[in-house]
Amino acid sequence: MAEPVRTLIRGTGLLGASIGLGLRAAGAEVWLSDPSPTAEAIAEDIGAGTRVRGEAPEVELVVVAAPPEVTARETAAALLQHPEAAVIDIASVKVQILAELLAAAADETNPLSREHLARYVGTHPMAGREKSGPVAARGELFTSMPWVICPAEDPDTGEQLSGPEAVETAAEMARILGASAHRMPAATHDESVALISHLPQIAASLVASRLQEAPVGALALSGNGLRDVTRIAASDPNLWVQILSANARPVVEILYGLREDVERLISTLEAPTAPGGHADIAQLIAEGNAGVVRIPGKHGAPPQSFAVLTVIVDDKPGQIAAVLNDVASVGVNVEDLRMEHSAGHQVGMVELSVLPGRRDELAQALRGMGWKVVLT
Amino acid sequence: MAEPVRTLIRGTGLLGASIGLGLRAAGAEVWLSDPSPTAEAIAEDIGAGTRVRGEAPEVELVVVAAPPEVTARETAAALLQHPEAAVIDIASVKVQILAELLAAAADETNPLSREHLARYVGTHPMAGREKSGPVAARGELFTSMPWVICPAEDPDTGEQLSGPEAVETAAEMARILGASAHRMPAATHDESVALISHLPQIAASLVASRLQEAPVGALALSGNGLRDVTRIAASDPNLWVQILSANARPVVEILYGLREDVERLISTLEAPTAPGGHADIAQLIAEGNAGVVRIPGKHGAPPQSFAVLTVIVDDKPGQIAAVLNDVASVGVNVEDLRMEHSAGHQVGMVELSVLPGRRDELAQALRGMGWKVVLT
């Protein structure tokens, strides 16, 4: 693996500070700057890098980790201030930022030129948290996560703008941080995230928003289904305003389809005994079945390729450890683990996903060790 | 705890067979019947009870575990065939089944009378799986889960129909199976599940259905957000047709609100730079924030009351066990556990939720044992 390069991170929120922590852990020299002196100081305190005091340091890479709405402006400034450095941004949308940079380069009153863009690469690490700010940062945030690399090209002519050196620097940084680089055009990225990131966020917020006025007695019946569907509804409104408005077109195209499905479902439920009504509902659920099996599993494995067994444990310290200890003694790898729980009880269920060929052997061994194991 | 009573389970799918397994484990005598000889035989084979051969056995409790669309008919038949027994159903909707029973009792050509309903109680165990059939059954399915008990009352007069003895038998069965009984009127139940169960199912199916035509490259970027939102989209279309059409009115009332929010979001995203657009988007996300914090946590604890720390582990047998072992040696209870993973890598992150007062102590201890721990 190549040496990590001297890096300046402009913007020390959750992502910027996490990149700093990760690069520092890999031995890089990292400089930090942020319009908020507090955010900058916290990032330095947690070890994400050294604050820029006075003159800008000479660096080989600038990472613009600013909010989406100021990313293009910050990127242009970085390209002009650091004439030798590669400059990457990490915003969740890519087409609009490139369009803003091209507009600036075409504007004769702006010092930015198209040649500067040879050192620019748009990127997007597919990682985040429901929390924000440098306090929530962690160097391992990108471990095992996809990191999209979008070399800049002119959307009208197809001309490549990003130079190969800058693209390689971006990809190398992703690798150093433990991410897997996925290269694609900006438009493909934006359409992809509209579907696999922005739509789920909207759906989670729509469902959670309906819980605002729910009676407490109804909420007491909540199970894992509701919890799973709404988990990401705890996200930052200010950030999502910027993401959704910067990716408005691909998102709205998907929402047209969603609206049509909702309309059809409403018509059906307004007259549930009318002819064809049942078929309409069944079709919606069946289409969901068909879609969900297409989501890849862990490590890119085919979806749903693991067998599941459930162990009943008491809810006291050491029980899950004891189960997994015994699993390890059998030599079986746990591919995924879910805890099931609900209000009111002190017993838990641990669902273990393992390779199908190992399940029965593991269940038998665990039962032999006194565990209550359920195969399904 | 009272002795489990002699029970007949009519319908040996996932839920019926699970009830049989659980009651048998508690020492009850359980009889089984199902229109499908195969399902009946499997349920008997896995130990859920004894098939009825010839005459109906004398029982104190009949559990009707049939599909929602035939539940009222099966319940009426059970009330007539077992003149001494309490009869409960476990369908996911309650108002319509009671209405069908009242209609049958009011029909002079039907042998069912209102007096029979003194032995009837509607119930709904809030438990299920993405799999169905007796093969997926497990006696622990209801452990720690809410079980709603809806004593029958006349919706027009408010007259109590279910007798106290039948209600107590139903609640006792729920307790024997490890569930927590929640008593409420049928209409309250149906409105509650429309919100906390049927709406999430619809949202998950709507999102997953949009993935049907998604390019593979987009799906490769999938993270835990999409996985969580769509997990329950793998549900059975035939069952959900019956549930949604039997609870059409409460569900459609919620969908009107959802449709309004989708419409507003579409208008905003069609003109994302128009005045007020940003505020509209921020409001949707903020309303989601406000809703999601109302979902109760494990064991009815206040939501989000746990502190989280993350441990980085290699993806090989025994690593999670080793972590939890060391956690146990510190004497800290793991309240929840999540594994984070994505395509392409062999390293995993284990998020542990613990009591906030124990987090720092635990992190320090784990680091001392050589673990890579991230606090956030």
pLDDT at B297: 66
| Confidence tier at A300 by pLDDT (50, 70, 90) | very low
B197 touches chain A (CB under 8 A): yes
Three-state SS at A15: helix
**Which residue from A minimizes the CA distance to B299?**
A343
Count interface pairs A-B at CB distance under 8 A: 507
Distance from the first to the final alpha carbon of chain A: 45
Most confident of A114-123, B273-282, B356-365: A114-123
Whether A1 has a pLDDT exceeding 70, the answer reads no
| Locus of tokens 């160097």 | A139
Q: Which CATH superfamily is domain B191-266 in?
A: 6-phosphogluconate dehydrogenase C-terminal like domain (1.10.3660.10)
* CB contacts, 8 Å: A249 with chain B: 269
Tell me what the pLDDT averaged over chain B comes to: 90
Over residues B263-280, the pLDDT tens digits come to 999 999 999 888 887 888
Q: Is B351 on the interface with A (CB under 8 A)?
A: no
The bridge status of strand A146-151 relative to strand A120-125 is antiparallel
Let me know: does A21 contact A47? Beta carbons within 8 Å: yes
Q: What are phi and psi of B287, to 5 degrees?
A: -65, -35
Which residues does chain B have within 8 Å of residue A328's beta carbon, measured at their own beta carbons?
Answer: 317-318, 321-322
The nearest CA of chain B is from the CA of A363 a distance in Å of: 14
Residue of B nearest to A210 (CA): B291
pLDDT at B177 over 80: yes
pTM reported for the whole predicted model: 0.82
Nearest residue in chain A measured CA to CA from B251: A269
Find the closest chain B residue to A147 by CA distance.
B221
CA distances from A213 to A201, A217, A228, B34 (A): 20, 12, 20, 41
Is the pLDDT confidence value at A345 over 50? no
- The confidence band for A307, taking pLDDT boundaries of 50, 70 and 90, is confident
CATH 3.30.70.260 residue ranges for chain B: 307-375
Please check whether residue A275 touches B, CB under 8 A. no
pLDDT, one tens digit per residue, over A141-170 is: 898 889 999 999 999 999 999 999 999 999
Looking at the complex, does the CB of residue A292 fall below 8 Å from at least one CB of chain B?
A: yes
Residues of B in contact with A230 (CB under 8 A): 200, 288, 291-292, 295
CB–CB contact A214 B196 (8 Å): yes
Residue A171 to residue A188: CA distance in whole angstroms: 18
List Cβ<8 Å contacts ≥24 apart for B29-35.
B31/B6, B31/B7, B31/B57, B31/B59, B32/B8, B33/B8, B33/B9, B34/B10
Task: Give residue for tokens 């349920």.
Answer: B43
- Least confident interval from A50-59, A332-341, B34-43, B153-162: A332-341
B333 touches chain A (CB under 8 A): yes
Task: Read off the tokens for B49.
Answer: 């009870």
Average model confidence (pLDDT) across chain A: 90
pLDDT at B352 over 90: no
Residue position matching structure tokens 């199970």: A223
Cα of A126 to nearest chain B Cα, Å: 7
Residue B366: pLDDT band by 50, 70, 90 thresholds?
very high
Q: Is the dihedral of CA A146, A151, A155, A160 positive or negative?
A: negative
Say how far apart CA B123 and CA A138 lie, in whole Å.
47
**Every domain range in chain A assigned CATH 3.40.50.720:** 7-184
Q: What is the reported pLDDT for B2?
A: 62
Q: What are the φ/ψ torsions at residue A176 (nearest 5 degrees)?
A: -60, -35
Task: Classify A276 as helix, strand or coil.
Answer: coil
- Tell me: the pLDDT tens digits for B63-111? 999 999 999 999 999 999 999 999 999 999 999 999 999 999 999 999 9
A191-292: CATH number: 1.10.3660.10
CA dihedral defined by A79, A83, A88, A89, rounded to 10 degrees?
-20
Q: Report yes or no: B1 at the A interface, CB cutoff 8 Å.
A: no
Q: Please, what CATH class does the domain formed by B307-375 belong to?
A: alpha beta
Q: What DSSP character marks residue B139?
A: T
Tokens 């030798």 -> residue: A84
B341 confidence band (pLDDT: 50, 70, 90): low
pLDDT band of A137, cuts 50, 70, 90: confident
**Residue A285 backbone dihedrals phi, psi, to 5 degrees:** -65, -40
- Quick check: A211 contacting B, CB < 8 Å? yes
Find the CB nearest B204 among A209, A229, A257: A229
In this complex, do A211 and B262 lie within 8 Å of one another by their Cβ atoms? no
* Residues within 8 A of A (CB atoms), B 9-68 only: none
Q: Do the chains contact at B212 and A328, CB–CB below 8 Å?
A: no
- CATH 1.10.3660.10 positions along chain B are 191-266
What helix, strand, coil percent values describe chain B, rounded to 5?
A: 50, 15, 35
Task: State the nearest Cα–Cα gap between A298 and chain B, in angstroms.
Answer: 5
Q: Inform me whether the C-beta atom of residue A132 falls under 8 Å from chain B C-beta atoms.
A: no
Residue A334 at interface with chain B, using a CB cutoff of 8 Å:
yes
Q: CB-based contact (8 Å) between A233 and chain B?
A: yes
Give residue A344's pLDDT: 43
**Residue in this structure with the two tokens 């852990």, named with its chain if needed:** A25
pLDDT value, residue A341: 55
Residue B344 pLDDT more than 50?
A: no
* Lowest mean pLDDT, pick from A268-272, A297-301, B370-374: A297-301
Residue that wins the pLDDT comparison between A359 and B8: B8
Nearest beta carbon to residue A248 from set B230, B258, B272: B272
Which of A23-37, A107-121, B172-186, B337-351 has the weakest average pLDDT? B337-351
| pLDDT tens-digit map of B190-218 | 999 999 999 999 999 999 999 998 999 99
**Which among B238, B333, B337 has CB closest to A317?**
B333
**Fold exhibited by the domain B7-184:** Rossmann fold (3.40.50)
Instruction: Determine contact: B103 vs chain A, CB below 8 A.
Output: no
> Is A273 exposed, middle or buried, given 0-12, 13-18 or 19+ CB atoms closer than 10 A?
exposed
Q: Check pLDDT > 50 for residue B368.
A: yes
Give the mean pLDDT of B226-246: 91
